[in-house]
Chains A and B, each alone.
Chain A
Amino acid sequence: MNGTAPGSIRGASVLLADLEKKYDRTNAVDGVSLDIRSGEFLTLLGPSGSGKTTTLMMIAGFETPTAGDIAIDGQSVVAMPPYRRNIGMVFQNYALFPHLTVEENIGFPLKQRGVPKAERAKLVGEALELVQLPGYGGRHPRQLSGGQQQRVALARAIVFKPRLLLMDEPLGALDKQLRENLQLEMRRLHADLGITFIYVTHDQEEALTMSDRIAVMNDGKVAQVGRPEDLYDRPCNRFVAGFIGESNFLPAIVRSLEDDIVVAECEGVLVRALCPARPATGTQVTLTTRPERLRFADTLNGHAPQNRMSVTVTEAVFAGERCRYMLRAADGTSMVLKEPSSAAIRRRNVGEQAEIAWSVADTILV
């Protein structure tokens, strides 16, 4: 964290305790507990209807929880109206006031706080500088591009120096190139400001590149919380394994246990997998692996990973930087293997028999 940057403040900590929101009979948010640390960049990631936006709206104060508590810096805010919470918020469609200029939009939160005009102009100028839009103050939102509007929305949400910034799919409406630029910019801003960011998105790549930690949400519940690499390498359930990145799922039966490793029978061979839990011998389980972590055994000279399996190539697609193979295992389970492309590597043909190998560390029992 960059503590020396001008205007750097200590971010707020946010505690969600058994948060619940019921609409009629359905639970939009169903017992969410999260401990968001001061200065953290936390992303709520999930498909639409997973409760991520409702959770954010409850933190902002636009939805009232039906049960549970929200504490900011240890103080419950459930009974506090949104305009007293002092939280910055960036909306998906920017929500800039169309009747006000860029300057007036950014000055809006300062005006509400009684900041004198001269001071306001100075802070607005600084905020425009920060989002790289100096000189745009006199324009109206409709005269700006989508990306510029989003920067103004960002400037407006941080100009009053809140200690917590909420963002609801802020880059959803922008094209890929612009989105990637703004992602980097938001990371830089997060580092410079030192405030806590809570970011909502359904885009797993965005979540992986930007966040300190990700809370994956499904059906109103938190499916898993962790650093991006933890979620990718150690998904703790099938939903997370399938939602973040691509995964192969192999049905298996537990045969024995060795320390924290499970030996399971899968497609007629014994496969070793990491497993923090201790399933009983004979249990039906599912093993998961990432397609890019499988290798054709004959390309691995020297070190041979422990897990091996014979497969048939059923589909071969050349996709530039990599080749993508669909494989069929002995019992008929389909798997995907992604191999970095190289003119030096022989490409497999459909119908070919092959042996694949992968390491135990890349095999997770979910």
Chain B
Amino acid sequence: MSATRVLPATVVGLILLFLAFPIVVVIVVSFSSATYLTFPPPAFGLKWYEAYFSSADWLRPTWLSLWVAAAVVVLSTLLGTLAALGIARLPRAARIVVAGLVLSPLIVPGIVVAIGIYYAFSRYGLVGSPPGLIAAHTCLAVPFVVTSVSASLAGIDPRLEQAALSLGATPRGTFFQVTLPLIRPGVLVGALFAFITSFDELIVALFISGSGAVTLPRRMWDDLRFQIDPTIAAVSTLTIVLTVVLMAAAHLLRKRAEAQVTRMAKT
């Protein structure tokens, strides 16, 4: 390899290492046998995974996070898909306004959204309760569903819906037999992102989870502040694995949807 190639390759390699290093450290430490956080670990073992799986203090927030995320997936996928369908049918000017409002949780800084939600929810007793968390996370997840479903909808030839109608399908039949199957990849990608959005969410949870609805990210945050032991590294590794798997699934779905769109465009 010539020098002109070695230099850029080294720089890129260093950047990648810099990006991946924290993750690598966490994963390595999670398999440590030491009773404190130290890198590199003196020896390896599964001790901290054992600690995690045998501690109700960790498992309770994990289950809460999982079922809150599941509820958020159901709600935000339903609302987001309906919103995307509605937005696509609006006249241009109204579409920009409505889409802007729906997407605002993505645009406004997270801390501002969290403060707003905290003030609003404390008034109705929604702080420190799972329904409050579900409602707040749904607000944050809907934009992802809307974006993903809208992209799918934009790839559909409007004549397919006309064709279905001309062949005798009612508007309802057209939706379930033609539109929905065609936007399904977009809906599934949106659902995956909704799950990750809720499962990883910390800022809003810090404000409103109180003591009655402690999620996994919130529990990790508390753990770091009050004690430091490698259990957190094991938990982090598990969440990294889950997130990577979900992201990979979303990527594959998107690839498939894109392939379908290009095939249609070619004909």
* A residues adjacent to B (C-beta < 8 A): 60-62, 81-89, 91-99, 108-109, 112-113, 141-142, 146, 149, 156-157, 160
Nearest A residue to B260, CB-CB: A98
> Quick check: B159 and A83 within 8 Å, CB to CB?
no
> Quick check: A108 and B260 within 8 Å, CB to CB?
no
- Given A97-B160, A99-B181, A112-B173, A88:B166 Cβ within 8 A: yes
> Quick check: A83 and B170 within 8 Å, CB to CB?
yes
Q: Is B263 positioned at the interface, with any CB of A under 8 Å from its CB?
A: yes
Most buried by A among B164, B173, B181: B164
27 examples of A-B residue contacts, CB within 8 angstroms: A61-B165, A62-B165, A62-B166, A81-B165, A83-B165, A85-B166, A89-B162, A91-B159, A91-B162, A93-B159, A95-B162, A95-B163, A96-B267, A98-B260, A98-B263, A98-B264, A99-B181, A99-B182, A109-B167, A109-B168, A112-B167, A112-B168, A112-B169, A112-B170, A141-B267, A157-B166, A160-B168
A92 proximity list for chain B (CB < 8 A): 159
> Quick check: B267 and A93 within 8 Å, CB to CB?
yes
- Given A98-B260, A141-B267, A142-B267, A93:B166 Cβ within 8 A: no
Nearest B residue to A114, CB-CB: B168
How many residues does chain B have at the interface if contact means C-beta atoms less than 8 Å apart?
A: 23
Q: Is B157 positioned at the interface, with any CB of A under 8 Å from its CB?
A: yes
What's the Cα separation between A160 and B168 when bound, in Å?
Answer: 10
What's the Cα separation between A96 and B160 when bound, in Å?
Answer: 7
What's the Cα separation between A93 and B267 when bound, in Å?
Answer: 7
* B residues adjacent to A (C-beta < 8 A): 157, 159-160, 162-171, 173-174, 177-178, 181-182, 260, 263-264, 267
B163 proximity list for chain A (CB < 8 A): 89, 91, 95-97
Nearest A residue to B173, CB-CB: A112
Minimum CB–CB distance for B42 against chain A, Å: 57
B167 proximity list for chain A (CB < 8 A): 83, 89, 108-109, 112, 156-157, 160
What's the Cα separation between A108 and B178 when bound, in Å?
Answer: 10
Minimum CB–CB distance for A55 against chain B, Å: 15
> Quick check: B166 and A89 within 8 Å, CB to CB?
yes
What's the Cα separation between A95 and B159 when bound, in Å?
Answer: 6
B162 proximity list for chain A (CB < 8 A): 60, 62, 82, 89, 91, 95
What's the Cα separation between A122 and B89 when bound, in Å?
Answer: 39
What's the Cα separation between A85 and B164 when bound, in Å?
Answer: 13
Minimum CB–CB distance for A131 against chain B, Å: 16
Contacts A61-B166, A141-B267 supplied; 11 other A-B pairs, CB < 8 Å: A60-B162, A62-B165, A83-B171, A88-B166, A91-B163, A94-B267, A108-B169, A112-B170, A142-B263, A142-B267, A149-B267
B182 proximity list for chain A (CB < 8 A): 98-99
B166 proximity list for chain A (CB < 8 A): 60-62, 82-83, 85, 87-89, 157
Nearest B residue to A140, CB-CB: B263
What's the Cα separation between A94 and B168 when bound, in Å?
Answer: 17
Minimum CB–CB distance for B80 against chain A, Å: 21
Minimum CB–CB distance for B51 against chain A, Å: 48
Minimum CB–CB distance for A106 against chain B, Å: 10
